[in-house]
Structure 1
Amino acid sequence: MNVKSTYVMLCCMLPFWVKSQPMEEYNTKVREVIVICKTHFDIGYTHRVNDVVNYYQTEMIDRAFKVMDASGDLPKEQQFAWTLPGWVLSKTMEDWKGQTPERRQKLDNKLKSGQIVPHALPFTMISDFCGLEEMARGLNFSSALCRKYNLPLSYSGKMTDEPSHTGALATVLAHAGVKFLHIGCNWPSGFVKTPGLFWWEGPDGSRVLTLYSASYGTNCAVCPKGWQGPNDPMMGVNLMPAKDWPYAVWPAILVTGDNSGPPTAERIKELFQEIKEKMPDVNVHMGTMDDFYEALMKDNPQLPVVKSAMPDTWIHGIMSDPGGVRLSREVHPLISSAEVLNTQLGVWGVPVASMSKDIATAYEKMALYGEHTWGGSKSVKAYGEAFEKLPADEYKDLEASWEDKTGYIRDASDIVQGITQSNLYSLATNVTCKKNSFVVYNPLPWKRSGVVEIDGRKIYVKNIPSSGYQVIPVKSMDKGGHEQSGNSIENDYYKITFDPAKGCIVSLFDKKTGREWVDKKADLGFGQYLNERFTFEQALDYTLAYQQGRAGDWPHPGIHKPGMISEKEVPYRAASPKDGNLKISGDSYVQMAELLMPSDKSRHLPASILRISLYKDQPYMDMEVVIQGKEKDNWPEADWLCLPFRIDRPEFNVYRQLGVMNPATDILPGANHHLYTAEHGLTITGTDGAGIAVCPLDHPLISLGVPGCWKCSDDYVPEQPVVYLNLYNNQWNTNFRYWYPGTWSSRVRIWTVEKGTTPEERSRLFMTSALEARNPLQAILVKEKRGNLPAVQSGLEVSRPGVTVTAFGADPDGNTGTLLRVWEQAGVSGKLMITLPKGMNTSVAVPVNLRGEKKGEPIPVKSGKFELELGAYAPASFILE
């Protein structure tokens, strides 16, 4: 499908609920209309990735030049200007093979003249899924272009399609100097009920002006009933302000469809003529989103503040690719630690190559994996036996587009794993030790103890220095794996009992408190694997409940499942395996149980394994579920790990990228109440404050109370203390994978929340434990060696746990010196002391924002230390000189 025909198809997805205004009706409060033109950018949806990039570099930008040139005879305020995302424009501007000198020169001229406008963001991202530093580094593409051409940094950004975003995005943008964000919701997606224009407050209290529209732009087509597609792709678009717009300045943000390019010069001229006829006294001109912010702020408008969460209603899509998501979850914490150790090795005198270019490439690949399109636009509408009969060539290109997407995070993982192993090897070959030993490196900036795996053996190590290492002699150790009898395992904290026939845990007994944490009356067992297979009617009912506008006339075929067999023939089914085999093994340090559950093809159940590990003297349990040999199938389904707890009157707290969300009180109407990311995990506590903490290591998508796929409501509040960890789903037939065959696994760590713990203590303790779970100690064997490094050494150190180092290396924004960025994640405000690694000769720490702009006075560094005031959930960045 070519771009033009794709756009014609997507035009009918514009919101029906927006009405063009009759000639005699207009907003008399508006004095100025700023026209902002943009095209919605998808990567790999309308075309394969490389084809889309090349299209922007050639035909797309050449068409834009023609519109700019054709509008040259118009008054200057009407001459066409085109706004583009930072990454997209950087690819268009780069010197690629095949670029012509004429186009190269014209690109330079149009960017310098302001007819090509970069906004601050790289592209639309699934921000609910992205890491903090990843979002921050995504801003580098636009800022690098602006700096190259001596242009001021754009302080506006736009997200199109994705209906809702994490509150952490507001914090990232505010601390990057981005002042205005436009969110243009995709039709037919349900939209979040916001005030329209508001201050969006991030978890740290910082704010960004935000305009939320229920369509790509602020003005859009009216699609009549029975509409089949326009000859004019801008049919129905107008520049008129909304009737109820209460401000003097209106941003007429005109967005053409997916990768469709700019509107014609003739159409733009018609639009200006139309609004001039209707509103002759209003100043109408081309401009930028920055212009809108400046004009609006002159009147010092009184705007509402939005603090509540708006979990993404597209977030289910990430778990169509469980293998890629697991890699992403591994890479996010690992890339920061890799950069930190590489920089510290240089400070300690170890000759290491600079990894800044590799780090930048890895962040780019990570951001591309977080971009909102995850595959091609082709539908596969055959189900059941009809699907099985389809030839492989029927969907070969579609599968290849999915692999393009997962390829980003595979590449990022390869880069980061390579840096990590190179760092550890350099460390191991430069430390001093007298006999065979292993070196343990701590990627977090506070002293900690924990479990490491050495030569297939898991052992506990104590007091590894902050961002530092320790050489530990190899002792004669039990190899582990001794089979044991019985149906339970235990340590000093828990006793866990299994029922192989049911395929689940029947008791999680807390020895310290005497509490039983498993709800034995629950319909589903604790640790049980659940597979749901949905019906055509369920998909259609969801679509009608979710979709905005005239859903009953045209339910979107990419959301509901046209061609599926009715529930009258194939009813909804929820199935779990049974009659498993229990194996228990262990040694003096670790006890492990494996529940091996057979496949059941008659019920579409793959084989699965549930692994539980308990460690000596460790107050947590590690759980891993393995899905084995899942078959290729596009039937809508969802896989879950079920965790029903026994807690009366439960209170849920979900720890997102920043901040804590109570799903009973904190979610805006129109956002996702049934399924959301728990970046770090969640706690469920009772009235006495006691409860359970759950930290998903590999897959962050959870539902509470009931499984959340194909469910939509604005008033759902979880009541039952059951966690459903999503292991896979293929909910939609657009944007995401339709099947994921093969084998994968998902790990979870669970521990107890003590009675009487205050919310502040709970947050601090939870985040410290979760960060340690997600940032495991790293270890490497080393033979006898007399190197130049001592056997124990500290690196970067912060004065309180819960503050992480997300950057420590060359500044991607070009400042001379070393960029150091810390980020508070435990919800604690106050003074923070930072201790630099020994050997780092630094006199001052210069505060900068997330785009490298200097802010505030330099802070003296004395004896390798400096102090700052750091707010809860806020970042702080410095150039160390």
Structure 2
Amino acid sequence: MKKLYLIHHSHTDIGYTAVQETIMDYHVAYIEQAISIIEKKIQETGTCSFVWTCENFWQIENFFEQASKEQIAQFEEYVALGFIDFGKNYLNMTELVDSTILNEFLAKADQYARKFSRKIDSAMTADINGFSWSYCDSLLKNNTENLFTCVHGHHGIYPLFENQMPFWWESTTGERLLVWNGEHYHFGNELQIMPNSRMTYQIKDQYINDFETGQMDVAEARIFGYVDELQNKGYKWPFIPLMISGFASDNAGPNEDVLDFIHEWNYKHGEEITIEMIGLNEFFRIFREQDLSEVPVYKGDWNDWWADGVGSTPAATKIYKEAVRKYRLTELLAKENHAEKSLLDQAKKDLMLYAEHTWGYSSSVSEPWNTLVNELEYRKSAYAINASQEINKYYAHLLKKEYGYAMPRANRPQHFLVINPYEKKVKQNCRLLVDYWEHIGNRQMRGELVPFLEVYDYETNQVIPCQTQTTARAFEIEVILELEPKETRKLGVRLNEEKTEKHTYASFVQGTEGVTDISYPNKVNDYEIQTDYFIVKLSNEKGIAQIIYKPTNSNLLDESAEAGLFAGIYEKTEIHTDPYQERRRMGRNRKGKHAKRWVAELQDIVVVKRGELYTNLQIDYKLEGTKVYSLFLKIYQNLPKLECSVRIQKENEWAPENVYVSLPIPVDTERFIKKSGNVMRPAIDQLPGTNTEFYLLDTGVMHINEQGVGIGLCIHDTPLVTLGTLENHLIELSSESTQFKNQAPLYSWVMNNFWETNFKVDLSGFYEFSYTLFLEEAVGTIQVLDEVLTQINQGFVVIPVE
């Protein structure tokens, strides 16, 4: 072993150590400090052995916004000379990030990198525990050929059952990204290479809590011990790359004092191990000069252990998901560029910042009353809220300019334009909203007029079947349309002189109290709901007990499941230590060994209304940890589809807790999920040694059964799901022996306050989560089913027009 390469950088946590805008200023200042250090060294010696690496392009982008032309020129001079380097990643993201937006931000870094004659083709990440498979494609698409990862194994772990090793990550298209699967990003500090930065985190030796022994003595023991241990494991490379920070903290700046230690070390031990500072891209240039023929190749998703932060802010995450939906619709709808595009650009930046991996302040669980905890929480949510506002403004402008979106006005006619934004023919339901203040003809809209409402095709005057329900401020009139690719259809709402709802004059096998509890051929009853496609059987114990698909007479649900479809499950781990330590000792489980679990107890089932288009069903449960847990379902008569709204009033709890929604939909083939723009098979299409416990989804889950019928579940606004047992258990990382989990029981994981730092601990409040279960006959391929899933997630666009 001849070389120990140090990559000096600052790990970016936007909010963990200070409020977000202060963190931004830190990193701008660190670039300025690095420039000053390099300038001074060049003035003193004519060259510079100090090298600073900007971890990501976000740091550079912020520096450019504040720096003078002279500072930018000096920065770029030092980049060209290799004294400053940068990674082409934008930030350390969660898999919540929209893959199209991420690709756009990666492209910005690539475009800037092309400015320099030396090759800048590397990215790095720190802290985060994984990436969607599509991230590999995105890096390669943007001319990033190398990735250095520094996984923080807290409540997670690096892949491949081993770190400090390279591998080729094969993309979905068969291209290869060279990855160095490295140590924790502070490991150079832990070896005591950085003066005044003493820390012990992973190493277990006699110097833990020893602040008296000299730095060189500790460094000698640890560096030689570490090198010996690597060599004993078969490490073959002639160098070891390590990350190092200027002080023992996230968001730490540069420290030129490291050069003094390097000089002293090399004078004393240089014949055995030489320490040298190096930039990220220079490291990969040197590494690629080695014989890489035996570097292993792996393909699959690198499923993230740190995706679960989204479950601690379910309300803000729901706003984020809706903003992403509207952003995707703007991409489909826009026919030209608009002056308001700056709104969209800012929205994309805010979406990126919400999806960044830091979820709050470092003491969010141990000190939930702390002012900084609350400030960071609201700022984090503000990214999603601001993105929602910006996209809504742009969306409304686009629809107004290109499609005739009409603002409210007195006596506005009830005309609506329904837009199919897709390149496929689509049949689905959509909703027309008529406000309470509106007049239809000369009559103000009110509940008594609902039976007389009629929807018609504006061009043909053909009446379209509809069904209406009331909302807080409007009447929601639902219709089902089949539209050609990119078709728009104008509809109108008017009053019919006769009621559009059916009259009943005689009772038919029914008591006078109106309860439908008698079994009789072709007679509806309150124990099942029949549609053209389904027989939904109701149970006084579970709620929805069976969904029989009529064409095959098969049950879509697992009758042996502990909880019924969409029923709630609550978990709590009592605090035996303190709120911080109780969570820390869970490891990779998201609950303690003594966790208690409650399944929702059914309280009532009410068939609210049977209409021409759908049947409304309400199911109320009693669930520990909540005041309210209710389901509101629409079961469609002429579509193989049902929608469910899960409404929860959650109580406050400081102890670690989880809330799940049961999804007992068995799989007889292979389960697929949509994840960060990529369709993959959980527990199968994964790198060895990665997380198979839970996944962060884009749109939902799906499979094609043995009869060739596509079965999909769109999970609209709560993206986490878990696979397998909910019990605390021995963790099995991804391998051939874990592929059975692909068909394991599935749960929507709607809330958690698991992490002992930076997660929001208080989950109390009112929530609503939406799901759509659908079937697609003769679907053919999973790609076609994925397109249907996307269409259901985003829907038709409906706007009022003149």
RMSD of equivalent CA atoms = 3.8
Match of 2:461 in 1: none
Rounded Cα–Cα distance in structure 1 between residues aligned with 2:645 and 2:223: 55
Deviation at 1:639, TM superposition (A): 0.9
SS at match of 1:324: helix
- Please point out which of 761, 775, 793 is paired with 1:738: 761
The equivalent of 1:68 in structure 2 is: 38
Contact 1:457-1:479 within 8 A present in 2 as well? no
- Aligned partner (choices 124, 129, 138) of residue 92 of structure 2: 124
Return the alpha-carbon distance in structure 2 between the equivalents of residues 622 and 208 of structure 1.
Answer: 41
1-structure distance, mates of 2:501, 2:654: 42
1:94 aligned counterpart, secondary structure: helix
2: CA distance between counterparts of 1:111 and 1:481? Answer: 76
TM-score, normalized by length of structure 2?
0.78
Distance 1:108 1:201, change over 3 A: closer
Aligned with residue 215 of structure 1, among 180, 184, 188: 184
The residue that corresponds to 2:13 in the other structure is 42
Q: Which letter does structure 2 place at the counterpart of 1:606?
A: K
Gap change, CA 1:206 and 1:479, over 3 Å in 2: farther
| Residues in 1 aligned to 2:759 and 2:501: alpha-carbon distance in whole angstroms | 42
* Aligned CA distance change for structure 1 residues 247 and 535 (closer, same or farther; 3 Å): same
State the secondary structure of the residue aligned to 2:659.
strand
Distance change (3 Å), C-alpha of 1:273 and 1:441: farther
Identical amino acids, percent of aligned pairs: 18
Secondary structure in 1 aligned to 2:257?
helix
Structure-2 change in CA distance of 1:150 and 1:591 (3 Å)? same
Cα deviation, residue 605, structure 1: 2.2
Equivalent in 333, 340, 362 of residue 355 of structure 1: 340
Match of 2:243 among 244, 253, 262: 253
Structure 1 residue aligned with 2:426? 448
**Bigger mean CA deviation after superposition, 450-459 or 669-678:** 669-678
Kept after mapping to 2: 8 A contact 1:481/1:585: no
Is the aligned partner of 1:297 residue 2:288? yes
Work out whether residues 361 and 373 of structure 2, in 8 Å CA contact, stay in contact via their aligned partners in 1: yes
Distance 2:12 2:626 in 1: 38
Pair 1:633 & 2:656 matched: no
Given the alignment, which residue of 246, 257, 260 partners 1:266?
Answer: 257
CA–CA distance in structure 1, aligned partners of residues 185 and 515 of structure 2: 61
| Residue 321 (structure 1) aligns with | 313
Shift in Å, 1:459: 0.9
Q: Pick which of 681-690 and 313-322 moved more.
A: 681-690
The 2-side partners of 1:696 and 1:537 are apart by 35
Deviations 1:9-36 (A, max 9, x none): xxxxxxxxxxxxxxxxxx2xx6x66542
Unaligned runs of 5+ in 2: 192-199, 407-411, 434-475, 504-513, 517-525
Matching residue within 614, 619, 630 for 1:609: 630
> Residues of 2 paired with 1:417 and 1:233: CA distance?
56
**Which residue number corresponds to residue 52 of structure 2?**
81
Which runs of structure 2 are paired with 1:457-856 in the superposition (5 Å)?
Answer: 457-466=477-486, 469-474=488-493, 486-499=526-539, 501-502=540-541, 504-536=543-575, 546=587, 572-597=596-621, 603-628=624-649, 630-645=650-665, 651-683=670-702, 692-707=711-726, 712-714=731-733, 717-718=740-741, 722-752=745-775, 761-783=780-802
- For 1:800, the equivalent position in structure 2 comes to none
Structure 2: distance between partners of 1:693 and 1:708: 26
Q: 1:652–1:684: 8 Å Cα contact kept in structure 2?
A: yes
5 Å-filtered alignment, 1:405-420, equals 405-420=380-395
Q: Is contact 2:185-2:242 (8 Å) kept?
A: no
SS at match of 1:512: coil
> What are the superposed Cα offsets for residues 393-430 of structure 1, whole Å, 9 maximum, x if unpaired?
x3343122111111111111111122112222223438
Count of residues in correspondence between the two structures: 701
Deviations 1:114-163 (A, max 9, x none): 4333321122111x22211121122255346557x767673211110012
The answer for the alignment partner of 2:415 in structure 1 is 437
Give distance in 2, aligned partners of 1:710 and 1:395. Answer: 34
* Larger Rg belongs to: 2
Deviation by residue 1:550-569 (Cα, 9 ceiling, x = unmatched)? xxxxx9xxx999xxxx95xx
Residue 142 of structure 1 corresponds to which residue in structure 2? 109
| Counterpart contact for 1:438–1:471, Cα < 8 Å | yes
Letter in 2 for 1:768: E
Letter in 2 for 1:493: Y
Q: Which runs of no fewer than 5 residues in structure 1 stay unpaired?
A: 1-26, 347-352, 383-391, 548-554, 784-881
Paired with 2:98 and 2:301, the residues of 1 have a C-alpha distance of: 17
Aligned to 1:162: 128
1:371 is matched with 356
User: Is the CA contact 1:502–1:580 (under 8 Å) kept in the aligned structure 2?
Assistant: no
How far 1:261 moved relative to its partner? 2.9
Take 2:47 and 2:91, find their aligned partners in 1: how far apart are those partners?
29
Find the aligned partners of 1:131 and 1:481 in 2 and give their Cα distance. Answer: 46
Kindly tell me: are residues 719 and 653 of structure 1, through their superposed partners in 2, closer, same or farther at Cα, counting changes over 3 Å? Answer: closer
2:528 and 2:535 in contact (8 A); partners too: yes
**Distance in structure 2 (CA, Å) of the matches to 1:689 and 1:305:** 34
Please say if residues 710 and 785 of structure 2, whose CA atoms lie closer than 8 Å, have aligned partners that are also in contact: no
- The aligned amino acid for 2:620 is L
CA distance in 2, matches of 1:624, 1:42: 35
Q: CA deviation at 1:285?
A: 5.0
Supply the distance in 2 between the matched residues of 1:299 and 1:153 (Cα, whole angstroms): 17
For each residue in 1:184-234, what CA deviation from the matched residue of structure 2 results, as whole angstroms up to 9, or x when unmatched? 011434222267211111222222111112412674525335723769999
Distance 1:210 1:465, change over 3 A: same
Q: Distance in 2 between matches of 1:744 and 1:480?
A: 33
